[in-house]
Amino acid sequence: MNYPIKKKKIKKNDHYANLGQTLESDLELTNQYYLNNNIAVIHKKPTPIQVVDVSYPSRNKARITKAFYRRPSTTDFNGIYKGKYIDFDAKETKSKTSMPFANIHSHQMNHLIDVKKHGGIAFLIVAWKAYDEYYLITIEDLKPLWESFLNGGRKSIPYTFFQEKGHMITFSYIPRLDYLKVVDKLI
């Protein structure tokens, strides 16, 4: 039987294929660019995994047969830029109006607050998928909302707050998300 072969839909901007696939991979490409060009040394931390069982089918390669994802105790990204300690997490939202605090673990917020206290540069990078916009928001700016949330206040961060307090990051081909351009203004 010959089923009709569906013609592959040609996307708008096909030369931009794979662009903006996920915020995480865009940030990893950006960090690779920073590293290759001697701009900064910033890496994503591996996902924490609790290994339960391992088998050794061959001498060289242990095979994990049972494991579970663990909750990260810090943020995903950290490193050094111009002698400064940089620490951040990346979040995506599909909402058009607000990002729920439920998306951010409290230990991540506490970690960013700690980093700031010790003289580091701490922030979130948030992708607003509905608008194709990326914002860097510092922990200093976020902290009052977070504290209000902990005390029973608003459960989410409104989009307008990002427009007012956030710093927009431009999406481009190389580097994908040049967030250090924003950091330059902060330091």
Residue numbers at the binding site for its own copies (CB under 8 A)? 35, 38, 40-41, 43, 45-49, 51, 61-70, 72-74, 78-85, 87, 111, 114-115, 117-120
C-alpha 135/C-alpha 180 separation (Å) is 12
C-alpha 160/C-alpha 153 separation (Å) is 17
CB contact at 8 A, 96 and 159: yes
| 121 versus 157: smaller Cβ distance to its own copies | 121
Q: What three-state secondary structure class fits 156? A: strand
CB of 107 to its own copies, least distance (A): 11
| 63 versus 96: smaller Cβ distance to its own copies | 63
| 143 versus 165: smaller Cβ distance to its own copies | 143
CB of 17 to its own copies, least distance (A): 24
CB of 109 to its own copies, least distance (A): 14
Crossing angle of helices 106-117 and 139-150, in 10° steps, is: 130
CB contact at 8 A, 22 and 179: no
Alpha-carbon distances, residue 23 vs 27, 41, 70, 95, 135 (angstroms) = 6, 19, 21, 15, 12
CB of 24 to its own copies, least distance (A): 15
| 4 versus 83: smaller Cβ distance to its own copies | 83
| 72 versus 158: smaller Cβ distance to its own copies | 72
Tell me the residue type at 38: N
CB of 35 to its own copies, least distance (A): 7
User: H-type helices in 11-153, by residue range?
Assistant: 23-36, 106-117, 139-150
